[in-house]
Each structure stands twice: as C-alpha cells, then as structure tokens.
Amino acid sequence: MKLPVSLLCAAAALSFSFSVQAQAAKPDLAKGAALYGQVCVACHAADGNSATPANPKLAQQHPEYLVKQLQEYKSGKRDNAIMKGFASALSDEDMNNMAFWLASQKGTPGFATNKDTVALGERIYRGGIPDRQIAACAACHSPNGAGLPIQYPRLSGQHAEYTATQLKAFRSGARANNAAMTGVAAKLNDREIAAVSDYIAGLR
C-alpha cells in the first residue's frame, strides 16, 4: 500500500527525539565557536563549509538536527567510530552551543556537475518516482532544499559525494537512525542516488 507523503514525513518527524535540556538551554555562540574550533574545524572547515566532499557541510544547518545527530553518534544509534569519539566528549550544552553557532554561519552554494543526469535528479527530487512509491524529496526537504526547522535537515549545497554515501548507508542499513529515509533509499538504485545527490548539490 502506498503511504501518503504527509504520513511519510510525519513518521520522520517522530524520530526527532531531542534532549529537553538541549532545547531549553539558551545557546552561547561564543562558547560554541570556541569549542567547534577545537573539535570540528579540521574536518568541517573554520566556518562549517567543508571543502572535502566526504565530509558534510554543516553551516546554516538547522541546529536541532545537528544536536540530534550528535546525540545519536554519542549513543551509538548513528554508527560512526570517529564521530562517536568526538560526540562522547560533548555535553548537551556543548552540542547546543556548537549547533546554534553553526546555524548562524552562511552555507556556501554548490553546483550540479553531471549534465547527463541532472534531469533525472530533478525529477526524483521534485516528483519522486510514483510507480515505485518513492516520495519526492522536496515534500520533506522543501523545493529549494532548505528543509524545515527541527524536522528535516537542510540539503541545499551539500556535497554530492556525502549525500550519495548517506543514501547508500540508509539503503544498506548501515545508517539506521531514520526509518523514513531507510524506506526511501531502499528503493533507489545507484544511478538514481548519484543523480539526485548531484542535483541536490546545486539547490539554492
């Protein structure tokens, strides 16, 4: 049975269980910047706009989403040995401060680079693949990739390599912290993942 996009998005929203303390605490951007400079800058760049395609851009990301990911790295719900090591040393307050500082940084634009697949990527992002019950990415992440605060992460300008890696991880079950994304990615083949990831990189 085909689930309406609204139900798929609602299911994704339910997976966002942020800590009460992190939501309630007023962020200290100066502390966030200082801690980011000590812990994260080597991989994600000084302003959160990673220049390494394998490492995600974090600038201008919704802070609640960043807190959720850090908490899930720390708990092991999102499995990554390197990130678990960093996240395990952070308190909820640390995460909150860094996340809100990153949200205050301007994300740099990206570009789609494969003219042969951009039409396919746009079709999947904006309309999904109805005959295979694949929902449009835009339904949850917005037409320009800005996402929605708290619920759905910003995608616009993200490195295509990173996005494709995450979709494949959802598909294989290696990343298991979002059931809705697992369901979507499970139905995509490698060409479709590459096409939509490249298209997302050029959203703005």
Start-to-end C-alpha separation, the chain: 34
Structure tokens, 179? 């059931």
The label of the residue with tokens 């789609």 reads: 112
CATH code reported for the domain at 5-9+109-201: 1.10.760.10
pLDDT in tens, 176-193: 999 999 999 999 999 999
Q: Check for a shared fold between 5-9+109-201 and 17-103.
A: yes
- The C-alpha atoms of residue 191 and residue 198 are separated, in whole angstroms, by 11
**Closest by CA position to 3, among listed 134, 109, 94, 137:** 134
Burial class from Cβ neighbours inside 10 Å (0-12, 13-18, 19+) for residue 52 reads middle
Q: Return the percentage of the chain with pLDDT > 90, whole number.
A: 86
- The C-alpha atoms of residue 111 and residue 59 are separated, in whole angstroms, by 16
Q: Are 74 and 88 in contact (CB under 8 A)?
A: yes
What is the DSSP code string of 147-180? -BTTTB---TT--HHHHHHHHHHHHHTSS-S-HH
- The C-alpha atoms of residue 42 and residue 50 are separated, in whole angstroms, by 9
Average pLDDT of span 122-137: 97
**Closest by CA position to 6, among listed 188, 189, 148:** 148
| Mean pLDDT, rounded, of the chain | 91
**Closest by CA position to 58, among listed 198, 158, 204:** 158
Place 149 in a pLDDT band, splitting at 50, 70 and 90.
Answer: confident
Q: What share of the chain is helix, strand, coil (3-state, %, to 5)?
A: 55, 0, 45
Place 4 in a pLDDT band, splitting at 50, 70 and 90.
Answer: low
- The C-alpha atoms of residue 139 and residue 136 are separated, in whole angstroms, by 6
pLDDT in tens, 79-101: 999 999 999 999 999 999 999 99
Q: Return the percentage of the chain with pLDDT > 70, whole number.
A: 88
Class of domain 17-103: mainly alpha
Average pLDDT of span 160-174: 98
> How confident is the model at residue 25, as a pLDDT?
67
pLDDT in tens, 23-79: 456 999 999 999 999 999 999 999 999 999 999 999 999 999 999 999 999 999 999
The domain segmentation of the chain, as residue ranges, is 5-9+109-201, 17-103
Q: Are 54 and 119 in contact (CB under 8 A)?
A: no
Structure tokens, 103? 């949200």
